[in-house]
Amino acid sequence: MNHNSKTALITGGTRGIGRAIALALAGQVENIALLYAGRRDAAEDTVNALLGKGVKSLAFACDVADSAQAKAACDQAREAFGPISILVNSAGITRDGLTLRMPPEDFKRVIEVNLAGAFHTIQACYRDLMKAGWGRVVNIGSVSGLMGNPGQMNYSAAKAGLVGLTKTLARELAGRGVTANLVAPGFIDTDMTRELPDGTLARALAQVPMGRMGKAEEVAAAVNYLCSPGADYVTGCVLQVDGGMYM
């Protein structure tokens, strides 16, 4: 295999926003490694879709909250495709509940997956990015991490933490030609948002000036831009894809 080709690694890359990102990046990379925690059938389906686009792809089961698993999965991807030059952290979970009633384990688990998980994969790919002289890291945050959201103290805290993590990484790697940015989606039409009660969804949409939910492909387009050569001078930024929900 040509280890000089461009390789992207996407966590949570087999469903929803992560899958849309993988399909969008297929236009500018040769290899895509996907990390997934749950459904193997979705992973296989996304790999086959990427193969159909002429991109070499493999999927690896991994709980990114576990640093050893994250490192092992990144090592497997590197062994298959060579150094990782694009890292997209899209893995995320929710365990919503009002602060008074939120079990401490739910708070901890969301922080471990959504925030510590990104740290684990960044650390595992750090040397690849540093040595290459060119690279991209895009973390998927949320407007909840910018404005807060009742019932999501754990999720909002994790996504807010990603902002600081991203800006720190941008400063560390800018001199190496590596950019680090965060995309903050608003309400996006995914399996997660489809499970919201009608009243909750209606109240959420009332806060969106554009009056509709976003599409996973619209988030993917923002990520695709940040990973492109056209974004060589863009680093440490938070790019909102939220229909004007937070301004």
Q: Locate 95 and state its tokens.
A: 């365990």
155 is catalytic: yes
Beta-strand runs (E) in 43-146 = 56-61, 86-89, 135-140
- Alpha carbon of residue 74 to chain centroid: 15
Nearest of 188, 87, 202, 192 to residue 143 by alpha carbon = 188
Find all residues with CB under 8 Å of 104, minimum gap 6, and list them. none
Look up residue 190 and give its DSSP letter. S
| Tokens (6 digits) for 147 | 């404005």
Q: Which of 155, 225, 233, 246 is catalytic?
A: 155
HSE, side-chain direction, 13 A CA sphere, residue 55: 26
Coil, strand, or helix at residue 181? Answer: strand
Residues 6+ apart with CB under 8 A from 74: 9, 84, 121, 124, 125
* Cα dist from 55 to 7, 148, 165, whole Å: 10, 38, 30
Tell me if 141 sits within 8 A of 222, measured CB to CB. Answer: no
* 146 touches 238 (CB < 8 A): yes
Catalytic residues: 155
